Structure 1
Amino acid sequence: MQHLMTRCDAMIDADMPMAPGPMQLSLPDAVDTVAQAATLLFVNGQTTERTLIAAERLGRAQGVSLTLHPRWCELELRVDGTPYSAITPAAPLSVNMAKALATMKIVDQVCEGSLNGSAARSALAAVERMGPVSTLRFALFAAIGAASMGVIYGVLDVTSLLLIAFSAGMGGLPRRWLATLGGNPFIQPLCAAAVAGAIGAIATRLHLPDTQLFIALCPCMVLVPGPHILNGAFDLTHTRVALGIERPTYAGLIVLMICAGLLMALAVGGSTLPAAAISAHVPLGADVIAAGCAVVAYGTAFSMPWRLLPLPIVVGMLAHAAHWALISLAGMDVAVGALVACTLVGMMATAVADRLRLPFAAVAFCAVVSMMPGFFLFRVANARVELVASGGLAPVDLVSSVAANGATAFLTIVAMSFGLIVPRMLSDYFRTLSARRGADHA
């Protein structure tokens, strides 16, 4: 890799191990191949655990026993039994399921012996050059996702849904343009949220009935970085405390930028977030269809290939039907409904992600995005701004609103993470246990 750095306490000479195969690679080249694959997985949304397993498998397939040590901005590979190590920069800032899928396929081919090391290096370089989905497709499905969130929250007015879709689509254009420029990743959600805030302020001036709040919020909900939250929770459960704290911190900063862009644009437009109001009770059919559309929108944002979308769509629609029934029929609160529905998603998404070789966090989040408590997070941010503006004259209702919305958001995120993670952890545990028993009997 271009930025790969190596260090060794002794000179690398002809006595160093070589990777076997039709076209043998030197130790540095073999480690570089593993670093390429691990970086592609790590920076494109694959869980840390799956990245570690893939790196170790790929190393063994090339005759090199190594250990991967991930950190927020870099990956370090240490060759077992030697002083040789390599460090490559890698920051897990994005999610691209197409790249993760292609990388996992290459790793499998090398491990099966159908691809040699030199060909694998060329294939991984080609994966690294893969671009995201087109700007038009990205903006279109951002619009569809935001409008779907509007339906889920009870916005059935056509004019309001069109405004929500227009806002999210227009926000998607600067996001994609800024992404091509590189630089600070927080500018993209800030600008997209500012577009939503500006259009929300216009909607307030038009006095659209009962839907002004969601015209401002729904385009922002499609910006919430759910996979980073879930991957951070996975790291914590595997005692990778540093990564487990850094991933949610990054996600939290993105949410902060979303809130800042939204509230600043509303303030410039002479408006604030209106009082919460849901325009209509959403029938089960409309709710489930909207949830399926949200899955398609997020799958597109995460560059999931078209042919792989049907399974996550089915998972998301079934989960949201269960969520709707738990809240609307059984009378459960939001957090409990999210816990039960996400446990169902965790079981189904585990099977889907393993079968399709996709990042679990991205697949799972696509299915549960409609349950994320973005509405409550943005309400908390708005109420806190009002608290600061009111000073000592803040009404009691405002304080209780901050507490209630904040507690609901926190408990819902914890419930969703727990529901999604536990089935995955149990699956990994029993798979490892089965593999060990098979090795003992061999």
Structure 2
Amino acid sequence: MQTDGSDPTEPASDLVLDTAAVLYAGGQSTGMTLAAVDRLNSGLGTSGTLVPTWASLQFVGRGGEVRVAPGSPTGVNMRRVAATMAVVDRAQDGPLDADTVRDELASAREQPVSNTLLFSVACATGAGALAIIFGAQQPAVVLVAALSAALGGLARRAVARLHGEVLTQAFTAALIAGLVGVAADRLHVDDATGLVVLCPAMVLVPGPHILNGALDLLSLRVALGAARLGYSALTLTAIATGLILGLSAGGLGIAVGQTGASVPMGVDVLAAGIAAGSYPVFFSMPYRMIVWPVAVGMLVHAVHWWALTAWHVDLATAAFCSALIAGVLVVPIAHTLRIPFAAVGFASVVALVPGVYVFRMLSGLVNFASAPTPELLTALAFDGAIAALVVAGLASGLALPMHAYAVASANRVTRV
């Protein structure tokens, strides 16, 4: 922590900045972090404004002094966020004792990530459920995709223990997925270069960062929103690079232009619930809260399935409508439980994310550079267009209710 002057650091202001730093690093949205700072200012009797940037948080005090906490919002730990928000919640009940806040904030920082074995199992169940949703026809495809994701989860935790950053973790897990795809192809497992490699990669997609970036852009925090989306793009590139390199070890590539088989509604909704229950483990959500993304995820996936099969709308429209319903439901849940909206929202709609199209498009671009054909160009353009439209629909549908809530809250405060 640094200041721009020689005056001693004010302890209460430091606590406000420290609290914001825990929330920011834990995946809380910028809007909810700013609201938490305002409430904590009231409880501690401090006054200041938080200025978030990608590389740091700056707290500008009443006298113009600036305190800085370095750090980037690249992680998601919902246990830490929930524990920290429990401290902030008491600010509206009256004055807060600074020593108590300091002790409880230290306890919140110590909240652990999900157990490694459970994390690996969640990777397996998430990838296996996605394989079913995307039309896997053989149990072997689901099992191999699940095994690949489990190995990737163990590798991610091993890299993290060696202080490897998030991009390295994603690349390593994707590389393993590619190598498993090569082995599966040698063993004649169906769809080895399709769902077997793509579904383990799907559990690596940085959904909360994409949604937080969309929220920042809607709130005109353009630089921060662009930084979040740029980080998400880097992560997706690291994943695609790992997949392509792993497959290239066996002279293979990601299947481009493939389409999955249709899935019965009951199977689709059940698999969506399993996927929605797996992702909160990645985000270290308190286990008692997992029921919410599971319930919302199953509901919106039923809506999505019905929109595609009964109303015959396109993928992007179905994704937007489903995400809008999820956003309307998740906003009050996130505010009541004081957990990151982006993490709960992404877990609820994860089965709708078009990661398959993204990775196939990137693989198609690599293939097109060495062997361009009109058919390949058409396939990768189709995949790219579908991915862009569906991501835009999901981000807009989830972000709009949150943005509307933030605007309404700001208007209420202004009138008061």
1:211 is displaced (CA, Å) by 5.8
The match for 1:39 is 21
Contact 1:316 1:366 in 2 (8 A): yes
Question: What is the distance in 2 between the residues matched to 1:434 and 1:362?
Answer: 26
107-116 or 60-69, which deviates more? 107-116
Q: 1:385 to 1:103 in 2, by over 3 A?
A: same
1:35 is displaced (CA, Å) by 1.2
Segments of structure 2 that go 5 or more residues without pairing to the other structure are: none
In the TM superposition, 1:5-24 aligns within 5 A as 5-8=2-5, 11-12=7-8
The match for 2:226 is 245
Contact 2:59 2:68 in 1 (8 A): yes
Counterpart selection for 2:375 from 388, 397, 401: 397
Contact 1:45 1:96 in 2 (8 A): yes
Q: How many residues align?
A: 416
1:212 is displaced (CA, Å) by 4.4
The match for 2:401 is 423
1:64 is displaced (CA, Å) by 1.1
- Aligned-partner residue type, residue 126 of structure 1: S
When normalised by structure 2's length, the TM-score is 0.97
Question: What is the distance in 2 between the residues matched to 1:308 and 1:114?
Answer: 29
In the TM superposition, 1:184-263 aligns within 5 A as 184-210=165-191, 212-263=193-244
Contact 1:110 1:117 in 2 (8 A): no
The match for 2:41 is 59
Match of 1:86, SS state, is strand
User: Are residues 1:154 and 2:129 paired?
Assistant: no
Question: What is the distance in 1 between the residues matched to 2:152 and 2:95?
Answer: 44
1:118-144: CA deviation from partner (whole Å, max 9, x where unpaired): 111111112112220110000000000
1:272 is displaced (CA, Å) by 1.6
Runs in 1 of length 4+ with deviation above 6 angstroms?
none
Contact 2:79 2:112 in 1 (8 A): no
Structure whose CA Rg is larger: 1
1:279 is displaced (CA, Å) by 5.8
Percent of residue pairs identical: 37
Contact 1:296 1:313 in 2 (8 A): yes
Question: What is the distance in 2 between the residues matched to 1:238 and 1:209?
Answer: 46
Counterpart selection for 2:144 from 152, 156, 163: 163
Question: What is the distance in 2 between the residues matched to 1:115 and 1:433?
Answer: 26
The match for 2:314 is 333
- Aligned-partner residue type, residue 374 of structure 1: G
When normalised by structure 1's length, the TM-score is 0.91
- Aligned-partner residue type, residue 342 of structure 1: A
- Aligned-partner residue type, residue 153 of structure 1: F
The match for 1:29 is 11
Match of 1:199, SS state, is helix
Question: What is the distance in 1 between the residues matched to 2:111 and 2:245?
Answer: 36
User: Are residues 1:375 and 2:356 paired?
Assistant: yes
User: Are residues 1:117 and 2:114 paired?
Assistant: no
User: Are residues 1:350 and 2:331 paired?
Assistant: yes
- Aligned-partner residue type, residue 398 of structure 2: L
Q: 1:76 to 1:114 in 2, by over 3 A?
A: closer
The match for 2:54 is 72
- Aligned-partner residue type, residue 404 of structure 2: L
Question: What is the distance in 2 between the residues matched to 1:326 and 1:211?
Answer: 30
User: Are residues 1:97 and 2:75 paired?
Assistant: no
- Aligned-partner residue type, residue 405 of structure 1: D
Match of 2:343, SS state, is helix
Question: What is the distance in 2 between the residues matched to 1:178 and 1:126?
Answer: 25
Q: 1:183 to 1:169 in 2, by over 3 A?
A: closer
1:83 is displaced (CA, Å) by 2.9
1:115 is displaced (CA, Å) by 4.8
1:144-197: CA deviation from partner (whole Å, max 9, x where unpaired): 000000010011421111101100000000101212232432110000001110
Q: 1:275 to 1:230 in 2, by over 3 A?
A: closer
134-143 or 427-436, which deviates more? 427-436
Question: What is the distance in 2 between the residues matched to 1:209 and 1:127?
Answer: 46
- Aligned-partner residue type, residue 3 of structure 2: T
Question: What is the distance in 2 between the residues matched to 1:210 and 1:186?
Answer: 27
Segments of structure 1 that go 5 or more residues without pairing to the other structure are: 13-26
The match for 1:387 is 368
The match for 1:24 is none
Question: What is the distance in 2 between the residues matched to 1:185 and 1:280?
Answer: 33
Question: What is the distance in 1 between the residues matched to 2:93 and 2:71?
Answer: 27
Contact 2:42 2:91 in 1 (8 A): no
What root-mean-square deviation, in Å, do the aligned CA atoms of Structure 1 and Structure 2 show?
Answer: 1.5
The match for 2:390 is 412
Question: What is the distance in 1 between the residues matched to 2:230 and 2:79?
Answer: 25
Question: What is the distance in 2 between the residues matched to 1:32 and 1:136?
Answer: 37
